[in-house]
Amino acid sequence: MSSRIVCKRILALMLCVCCLALTGCSGGNYARRTDNSRTLYIGVVGSSFPVSYMPWFSRDGIAPTISSMVFSTLLSYDEESATYQPALAKEWCYVDREGNPIVTEDGQVDYDKLESEYSGRDTQCIPIRFKLDENATWSDGTKVTVEDIYFTFDLAANQKLSNHAGALAWVNDLMHKYDSNTGKLRRQGIYTYDTGANEKGYYIAEEDRDTVFYLETNKVLGAITSLVSTVLILPKHQYADIISLDNPLYSTAPSDELRHAYENPIGCGAWVLDTEKTSGQEIVLRRRDDYHITAEDGSALYKADALSFILYQDINVAIYALKKGHLDVLDSSISANYAGLFSDEKEIALFSAPGTYAQCLVLNMNPTEDRMTEERRMLTNPDFRRAIALAVDQEDMILNVLGGRGQAMPSGLILPSNEDLYNPDANIITGTAKERVEEANAILDTLYPEKDKDGYRLNGGKRVSFEVLGSPGEQEAISFLQVLLQRVGIEIKYAAKGNSPETTYLYGGNFDMTIQGVIFSAGNVDIMFNSHFVSLSRSSNYGRLNNKELNQTINKMRTTLNQNTKYDLVKEISTVIAQQYYKLPLYVSDTLSIARTDRCQGWVVSEGATAFNMDSLENLTWVNH
């Protein structure tokens, strides 16, 4: 009997006993049933809640969600329209050497003119002009100004003062550079009225001194993306006087002043942290009435007055809490195993959204010599890697691991729905499942023809066996990989990632294989291709791929200012990626989520998101209000 069938049969029993586990949760779990306010109760599944709300710190669990709601970036990127939407900044444009906007008649970026203006060797960078929304304020009432912008980006570029390697990566394409040894500014790339904009030739009128600024970026079309949609802006008036070289922004032993700032964030987003009601079990955010972005009719952009995030360490307990009416929605996707539980529920809706990223099996291709083992040496052979790729049957995985709720990802790791970037020539794994297994076995018969009594291949008398690093939630996928690879005589074993897998295993290449989520789009290829396939430092290139041809093509793609050429190069790159047999796609899972409809309605299904998303918060209507 398969593990999936067993899971289904015991699921109801697990939920029946979950009521006992609820008794140990916070009192907030029961408040919803008697709450007539517009407070939304959101269940979060995780090991713990953050104790610090400095937005640059953690990218795990609920922390990024909270940070993005309390703080704000300059702009947001809309994948569907491939455009940047207002956030703290309400206007932006590339400018030519005379300071004129490089835009078409309808106000869009004129990429032909941009290429003509800056593709030559006589220019080193591209200037971008921004104008802040003059109504934007911090949650303590202080206006957001260009001083906050300069402070934030200057700090992100100064490793010695920020002590934050991630921030340095976010601003890698910003021309504002510090000397890594001395910590002194060696090139300015941020210009405001008071920091030399007019002297540089970037005109700013006196009346715009608090709202207009310029950034100089590398000549990379995607340079703007991470700068405007990743870097959360910090309040200068909260942090400037309490950080120094001896007391940097990120500290494991912060001063009392820094600790207070971490725990009492002054944000510029639509929500403010209710510090009195927030605890290790519950995070409460209250909607700011003075948020500068409103709905079209002038009303509040988001319809809930407050958000109560409640922690559960087990998905079964969280589901039970929602079924019993303690929650409105889960901020966690659910397994397809659970879908049948809600087919007859009148006040609970099950939502299925198309997935946006692929789960991949990453092979350790280039470990350092001190990390090399005989098993990992086998993975350096491209024929051996192709055999593994042929044995991975995505359709079978989707059926058995996802219950049919997902789609296959091409070997080039770009979905066909992404018409600008998709290249069908990157689909190099073809044929029926039977034909692919036959080809895989034919390859392996030439490499490791001997087998043991159980049918596993031998290398020098030792079973060919690999460990796959994974989290508990990935065990089912790894278990089915065991079935698939057994068909070609390769043994797979599950190995727990632990709490800090990047530092412990992945960055140093101390693993055989691992599961990794991958997503590439027009908005992120400049950063993500470099991170996943080029960089050999602390990046997402866990298996340390080092391919000169691929590196050169990625660099060419990054530096062209011709958008059509850029997209053509992405298509070429996807073919080269496929031929490496390095990140083998397993599936793209649909995002399944659940929400109650008895208190509020209007949940929106957004690609790759649960029912708890910003579109839902804009669209919800409240029953009996």
Per-residue confidence (pLDDT) for residue 9, from 0 to 100 = 44
Q: Of the ranges 15-19, 443-447, 507-511, which is most confident?
A: 443-447
Instruction: Give burial (CB, 10 Å; 0-12/13-18/19+) of 300.
Output: middle
**55 vs 410, more confident:** 410
Instruction: Give burial (CB, 10 Å; 0-12/13-18/19+) of 625.
Output: exposed
Q: Tell me: pLDDT of 115 over 90.
A: yes
Listing DSSP states for 392-442 in one string gives --HHHHHHHHSTT-EE---TTS--TT-TTT--GGG----S-HHHHHHHHHH
- The lowest-confidence range among 9-13, 32-36, 547-551, 580-584 is 9-13
In which band, very low, low, confident or very high, does the pLDDT at 473 lie, cut at 50, 70 and 90?
confident
Q: What is the DSSP letter of 514?
A: E
pLDDT tens digit sequence for 304-316: 999 999 999 999 9
Per-residue confidence (pLDDT) for residue 10, from 0 to 100 = 40
CB 176 within 8 A of CB 189: yes
Q: What are the φ/ψ torsions at residue 175 (nearest 5 degrees)? A: -80, 5
Per-residue confidence (pLDDT) for residue 13, from 0 to 100 = 46
Show the domains of the chain with their CATH numbers: 3-53+269-353+591-622 (3.40.190.10), 72-239 (3.90.76.10), 358-589 (3.10.105.10)
Per-residue confidence (pLDDT) for residue 30, from 0 to 100 = 61
As a whole number, mean pLDDT of residues 230-246 equals 96
Per-residue confidence (pLDDT) for residue 59, from 0 to 100 = 67
Residue with tokens 């995607």: 222
Per-residue confidence (pLDDT) for residue 19, from 0 to 100 = 47
Give strand ranges (E) for 259-333: 271-273, 282-287, 306-312, 329-330
In which band, very low, low, confident or very high, does the pLDDT at 12 lie, cut at 50, 70 and 90?
very low
Q: Tell me: pLDDT of 423 over 80.
A: yes
Per-residue confidence (pLDDT) for residue 31, from 0 to 100 = 76
Per-residue confidence (pLDDT) for residue 26, from 0 to 100 = 45
In which band, very low, low, confident or very high, does the pLDDT at 11 lie, cut at 50, 70 and 90?
very low
Average pLDDT, the chain: 91
Per-residue confidence (pLDDT) for residue 6, from 0 to 100 = 40
As a whole number, mean pLDDT of residues 199-206 equals 96
As a whole number, mean pLDDT of residues 220-233 equals 93
Per-residue confidence (pLDDT) for residue 76, from 0 to 100 = 93
pLDDT tens digit sequence for 543-596: 999 999 999 999 999 999 999 999 999 999 999 999 999 999 999 999 999 999
In which band, very low, low, confident or very high, does the pLDDT at 20 lie, cut at 50, 70 and 90?
very low
Per-residue confidence (pLDDT) for residue 478, from 0 to 100 = 96
In which band, very low, low, confident or very high, does the pLDDT at 336 lie, cut at 50, 70 and 90?
confident
b/e code 92-126 from CB counts within 10 Å (16+ = b): bbbbbeeeeebeeeeeebbbebbbebbeeeeeebb
pLDDT tens digit sequence for 74-88: 999 887 777 899 999
Distance CA 528, CA 366 (A): 19
Q: Tell me: pLDDT of 498 over 90.
A: no
Per-residue confidence (pLDDT) for residue 46, from 0 to 100 = 86
Per-residue confidence (pLDDT) for residue 83, from 0 to 100 = 86
Q: Of the ranges 400-404, 416-420, 550-554, which is most confident?
A: 550-554
Per-residue confidence (pLDDT) for residue 29, from 0 to 100 = 52
Per-residue confidence (pLDDT) for residue 625, from 0 to 100 = 61
Q: How far apart are the first and last CA of the chain?
A: 50
In which band, very low, low, confident or very high, does the pLDDT at 266 lie, cut at 50, 70 and 90?
very high
Per-residue confidence (pLDDT) for residue 512, from 0 to 100 = 97
As a whole number, mean pLDDT of residues 355-382 equals 94
As a whole number, mean pLDDT of residues 205-220 equals 97
Per-residue confidence (pLDDT) for residue 621, from 0 to 100 = 94
Strand partners, 588: 407
In which band, very low, low, confident or very high, does the pLDDT at 278 lie, cut at 50, 70 and 90?
very high
Instruction: Give burial (CB, 10 Å; 0-12/13-18/19+) of 27.
Output: exposed
Q: Which of 136, 139, 133, 87 is nearest to 285 (CA)?
A: 139
